[in-house]
Amino acid sequence: MLIRRPLQIPSSEITTPLVYAERRDFMRLLAAGIGTASLGISPSAEALDAPGNSLGKLISSPFSTHDDKPTPLKSMTSYGNFYEFGPDKDSPGKNAHRLRTRPWSVTVDGEVKAAKTFAIEDILSWAPLEERIYRMRCVEGWSAVVPWVGFPFSELLKRVEITGNAKFVEFWSLADPEQMPYVRIPLLDWPYVEALRLDEARHPLSLLAVGMYGEVMPKQNGAPLRLVVPWKYGFKGAKSIVRIRFVEKQPQTAWMKAGPDEYGFYSNVNPDVPHKRWSQATERRLGEFLKRKTLPFNGYAEQVASLYAGMDLRKNF
């Protein structure tokens, strides 16, 4: 059997036209004199498969899928999206070594009785860390099965007092042009902001992740803290979070601003709702050749469908 590696998949099949346009913008910037040297991109990168620091003994979570083989770690650390480090699938693995994850703090504000700032070391001590093997689905047509390590979002709610006005939660990623050279280019409206409805964030499947595969989170995957919402498309998982903000009104997220007719607020995996330019009915796992049928809510319908009872999931995409 012919096995094609992920990077052999034609880019026209896995990269959105929006990203192609962004690359053209980037080339125009280069023509204007903004070269890679001025962006500070190193031509070399850390070994993608170098062993990370172990997170020690972990709790095996009952929320894990038991029907899927995890995607190889190397595939997950060498292929993905993190636009602050570049628009290509291999950009994060090449450029994220620049990210400094210590010191690191996360501010929680907005509709809370008192704003608080937590050091990442304090966050790591909040609860016993769980390993959750989740199916993940990206809008471009690829998918993976990842052993994430973290704790439920509800652990945060134990440490802040939200007001009765809080209906949504924003997650703000770091946007530092010194560490993240592509923040200097308007690929998106920086900083990257994603958001959930409060009841979605409170759902026990919603995870604040600090690691994967039993190790500290790789920088290219969103170190030191990222969001994981397994029933939604992968871009909902904000990486390198520095701010969590509770708000009353539904916010505009980064991808909603970039393409409101293509990227809705809810972004639930729905194979019956095609993307503007391609079908979402099938997917290809990283490291596999054959496609498989995409499952509603990424296979988590039994757990989360009730959150959207009575909603038109074609309109509220």
| Residues 127, 50, 150: CA angle, nearest 5 degrees | 15
pLDDT value, residue 52 = 72
The DSSP code sequence of the chain is -----GGGS-HHHHS-HHHHHHHHHHHHHHHTT--HHHHT--S----TT----B--S-EEPTTS-SSSPPPPHHHHHHS---GGG-SSTTHHHHHGGG---SS-EEEEEESBSS-EEEEHHHHHTSS--EEEEEEEE-TTSEEEEEEEEEEETHHHHTTS-B-TT--EEEEEEP--TTT-GGGGTTTSSSSPEEEEEHHHHHSTT-EEEEEETTEEPPGGGTTT-EEE-TTBBGGGS--SEEEEEEESSPPPPHHHHH-TTTS-SS-B--TTS--SSS--SEEEETT-SS-EEPPGGGGTHHHHGGGGTT--TTT--
pLDDT value, residue 12 = 37
Q: What is the tally of structural domains in the chain?
A: 1
- Within a domain: 1: no
- The parent domain of residue 208 ranges over 6-308
Q: Which residues contact 50 (CB under 8 A, 6 or more apart)?
A: none
- Within a domain: 316: no
- Within a domain: 42: yes
Alpha-carbon distance of 309 to 307, in angstroms, equals: 6
The whole-model pTM stands at 0.85
pLDDT value, residue 79 = 97
- Within a domain: 317: no
| Residues 200, 153, 271: CA angle, nearest 5 degrees | 40
pLDDT value, residue 276 = 87
- Within a domain: 68: yes
pLDDT value, residue 67 = 87
- Within a domain: 84: yes
- Within a domain: 303: yes
Average pLDDT, the chain: 87
- Within a domain: 163: yes
pLDDT value, residue 277 = 86
pLDDT value, residue 114 = 98
Residues of the chain with pLDDT under 70: 1-51
CATH of the domain at 299: 3.90.420.10
| Residues 40, 25, 136: CA angle, nearest 5 degrees | 80
